[in-house]
Amino acid sequence: MFVQEEKIFAGKVLKIHICTMDGTEWLEEVTEDTTVEKLKERCLKHHVHGNLEDPKTLTHHKLIHAATERVLTDTKTIADENLKDKDVLLLIKKRPPPTPPKMADVSSDEKKKQDTKAPDKDAILKATASLRFQTELRKILVSLIEVAQKLLALNPDAVELFKKANAMLDEDEEDRVDESALQQLTEMGFPESRAIKALRLCHMSVTQAMEWLIEHVDDPTVDAPLPGQDSSGASGDGAATTTGPPASASASSSRQDELTEIFKRIRRKREFRPDSRAVIALMEMGFDEKEVIDALRVNNNQQDAACEWLLGDRKPSPEDLDKGIDTNSPLFQAILENPVVQLGLTNPKTLLAFEDMLENPLNSTQWMNDPETGPVMLQISRIFQTLNRT
């Protein structure tokens, strides 16, 4: 009797058409007072063959009214949702919520944001300090050379000191070959004289020297000495024997004339030597040899930079390279007031180092590591950095 009363008061029975994403379809009979959650549970039991092992399965699915594309609310009844007989419902698994980021990921994202943030003025100055120093160094050296020449001209022993320093540098120039690099090339079968020439042309780069040797294997002038090597000795000896004070000239003027002649010889010997490979490559693009050499001189023998210079506004010009720094500027005054720099300017080797770095910037590292010229270069760099920060 109780069951019959339950059936009487149960409400209208509806047949609902259930569909799943994998194509399964069936009918579920429910009364109007059945909750959507209860219907969903019955659907899942039917779909997984009567077992709901994971209690979260129920909350991970939803029922959608196909005709209106409306998601049914679990707590409402069939009647509340206004479902009709033969309505179609879709049983769909909910999309999982996005996983919250871990602390490590959060800090990583923050770091990325900081990395992509535009740099401030201090960061820009710090990043470009080295570049600005290289740009200003040439101007500083030009002005320091003028000061050093005047100071050395006052030294009665300047001529002899320069002759000794110059001779010492000549020996260094002749012996300045990387032994390990030379050994690598000779072990490949290249003659030692050619290997030495190739290494000097390619700034001691084994790879570039090997390429140069292969390219010039049939060149009839491959064994010809480098410019300056066949004439430097002769010109040096000639200058040494022919230069001298006239009998009627004073000792002071003769010493000045001899120093001037020595300075000229130094400049001839230390003149800029363009990278032969870069010269050929740029001339093949249609540029004139003189403008190619100017471009390489302005851009420290860097082929790509020289090409951009030739194609651009050609600034700075070769003439700009010979301009010094303002001698009244705080930077130059601070350099001249430094005791280490003052002492270094009285050393002929320092002047020779300045001259060499002007025309061969790649040799700067060598002079920075020299026990006599290194401290001077270090002080110049420190003064520049200090004034640059302020």
Q: What are phi and psi of 49, to 5 degrees?
A: 60, 45
Three-class SS of residue 243?
coil
C-alpha span between 158 and 254 (Å, rounded):
12
Q: For residue 18, give every residue at least 6 positions away whose Cβ sits within 8 Å of its Cβ, in sequence order, or none.
A: 25, 26, 27, 28, 43, 46, 88, 89, 91
Per-residue confidence band for 12, with pLDDT thresholds at 50, 70 and 90: confident
Spatial separation of the C-alpha atoms in residues 256 and 266, rounded to whole Å: 15
pLDDT in tens, 225-265: 765 454 433 344 443 433 444 444 455 556 556 666 666 55
Q: Which of 52-56, 349-353, 378-382 has the highest mean pLDDT?
A: 378-382
Tokens (6 digits) for 322: 């010979």
pLDDT tens digits, 24-56? 888 888 898 899 889 888 888 877 765 566 666
CA atoms lying within 13 Å on the CB side of residue 166: 24
| Residue spans of alpha helices (H) in the chain | 2-9, 36-47, 103-116, 121-127, 129-153, 158-175, 179-187, 192-201, 206-215, 229-242, 251-269, 276-283, 289-298, 303-311, 330-336, 339-344, 348-359, 364-368, 374-389
Per residue in 153-179, pLDDT tens? 777 776 676 666 556 555 555 456 777
What is the tens place of the pLDDT at every residue in 83-121?
Answer: 888 888 988 888 777 776 666 555 666 666 655 666 666
Q: Residue range 378-384: average pLDDT?
A: 90
DSSP 28: E
∠ CA 164-169-171, rounded to 5°: 100
In this model, does residue 75 exceed pLDDT 80? Answer: yes
Q: Which of 331, 358, 351, 339 is nearest to 147 (CA)?
A: 351
Question: Residue 47 and residue 91: Cα distance in Å, rounded?
Answer: 10
Q: What is the mean pLDDT of the chain?
A: 76
Reply yes or no on whether the pLDDT at 338 is more than 90: yes
Reported as a pLDDT band with limits 50, 70 and 90, residue 334 is very high
pLDDT of residue 310: 92
Report if pTM > 0.85: no
Mean pLDDT of 293-309: 86
pLDDT at 230: 47
Query: What's the CA gap between 217 and 66, in Å, rounded?
Result: 83
> What is the predicted pLDDT for the residue at 271?
61
Are 199 and 181 in contact, with CB atoms under 8 Å apart?
yes
- Which CATH fold would you assign to the domain 13-93? Ubiquitin-like (UB roll) (3.10.20)
Per-residue pLDDT, averaged over 265-282, amounts to 71
Residue ranges of domains in the chain = 13-93, 122-156+321-388, 276-315
The sign of the CA dihedral 295, 298, 303, 306 is: negative
